[in-house]
């Protein structure tokens, strides 16, 4: 069966659901550790000195990771919802936003696992009994990192195929639009149409402007006596001849 864009979207939504379960698992584990540290860290039968050392080591190594884990579990579904919306709306650029969350989760887990291993011998001088949750923190961190890495590999494959399919679909839509009968008819009409006169596109205001310009030149020609034609048999203009006739003294017989 051919790989259609609908199948890619469905698989991407399934992948987002897996990542939501990954985030809920993270929030559940660190939420349980937060409650256990807040209420059930030291049983009554435990010596007070060992209990204080236990609280101190836990606060130094695991408290901050617990808070970050709670935030990580809460923000994971938000990124997955954005990812699902981007798949449904066919927005490939928005789907790649999920990578920021994936790299952030793996970076946090790798940082704290390496930090716990480096600082494992820093508390040997303290009277302390190793606890089961210490190994559990390491195992859960490693398991969440591997799971996130596997999801990210599948995501990159789906994201690349989805981006290619959306680009191919949009290219096909543009080609079908240009090849449609209505578009071809419009192109033929535009090619065979006669040239448009410049004055045909002008509105009533343009006609008024042209009439005003014509009247200006006519009035200018009437008022400027230097542009008058001379009378036949005369060296002066019409105005000059008229003034000479007016000023001429009447002759007496």
Q: For 44-63, what is each residue's pLDDT tens digit?
A: 777 888 888 888 888 888 99
Domain presence at residue 28: yes
Domain presence at residue 20: yes
Does residue 223 have a pLDDT over 70? no
Domain presence at residue 67: yes
Radius of gyration for the alpha carbons in the chain, expressed in angstroms and rounded: 45
Domain presence at residue 138: yes
| Both tokens assigned to 163 | 């981006």
Structural domain for 125, as ranges: 5-185
What is the structure's pLDDT at 209?
47
Q: Which of 209, 33, 47, 27 is CA-nearest to residue 137?
A: 33
| Both tokens assigned to 73 | 């579990």
- Specify the pTM: 0.64
Domain presence at residue 234: no
Going from the C-alpha of 13 to that of each of 9, 166, 226, the distances in angstroms are: 6, 16, 89
Confidence at 199, pLDDT banded by 50, 70, 90: very low
Q: How many domains are there within the chain?
A: 1
Domain presence at residue 190: no
Report whether 147 contacts 102 (CB < 8 A): no
Domain presence at residue 54: yes
Domain presence at residue 158: yes
| 190 vs 182: CA distance, rounded Å | 12
Question: pLDDT tens digit string along 86-134?
Answer: 999 888 888 899 999 999 999 999 999 999 888 877 777 777 777 788 8
Percentage, residues of the chain above pLDDT 70: 68
What is the structure's pLDDT at 227?
47
28: Cα within 13 Å, side-chain hemisphere? 8
What is the structure's pLDDT at 86?
92
Q: What is the dihedral of CA 17, 20, 26, 27, to 10 degrees?
A: -140
Confidence at 246, pLDDT banded by 50, 70, 90: very low
**What number is the average pLDDT over the span 138-146?**
93
């Amino acid at each position: 069966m051919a790989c259609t864009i609908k199948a890619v979207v469905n698989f991407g939504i399934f992948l987002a659901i897996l990542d939501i379960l990954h985030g809920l698992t993270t929030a559940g584990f660190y939420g349980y550790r937060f409650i256990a540290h807040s209420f059930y860290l030291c049983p009554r039968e435990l010596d007070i000195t060992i209990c204080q050392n236990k609280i101190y080591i836990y606060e130094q190594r695991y408290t901050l990771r617990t808070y970050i884990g709670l935030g990580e579990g809460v923000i994971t579904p938000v990124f997955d919802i954005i990812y699902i919306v981007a798949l449904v709306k066919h927005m490939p650029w928005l789907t790649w936003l999920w990578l920021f969350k994936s790299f952030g989760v793996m970076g946090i887990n790798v940082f704290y696992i390496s930090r716990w291993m480096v600082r494992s011998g820093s508390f040997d001088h303290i009277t302390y009994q190793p606890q089961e949750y210490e190994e559990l923190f390491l195992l859960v961190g490693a398991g969440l990192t591997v799971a996130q890495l596997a999801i990210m590999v599948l995501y990159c494959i789906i994201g690349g195929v989805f981006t290619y399919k959306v680009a191919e679909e949009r290219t096909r839509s543009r080609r079908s639009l240009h090849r449609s009968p209505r578009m071809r008819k419009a192109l033929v009409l535009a090619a065979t149409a006669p040239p448009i006169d410049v004055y045909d596109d002008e509105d009533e205001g343009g006609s008024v402007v042209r009439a005003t310009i014509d009247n200006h030149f006519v009035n200018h020609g009437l008022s400027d006596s230097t542009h008058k034609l001379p009378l036949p048999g005369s060296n002066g203009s019409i105005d000059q001849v008229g003034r000479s006739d007016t000023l001429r003294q009447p002759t007496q017989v």
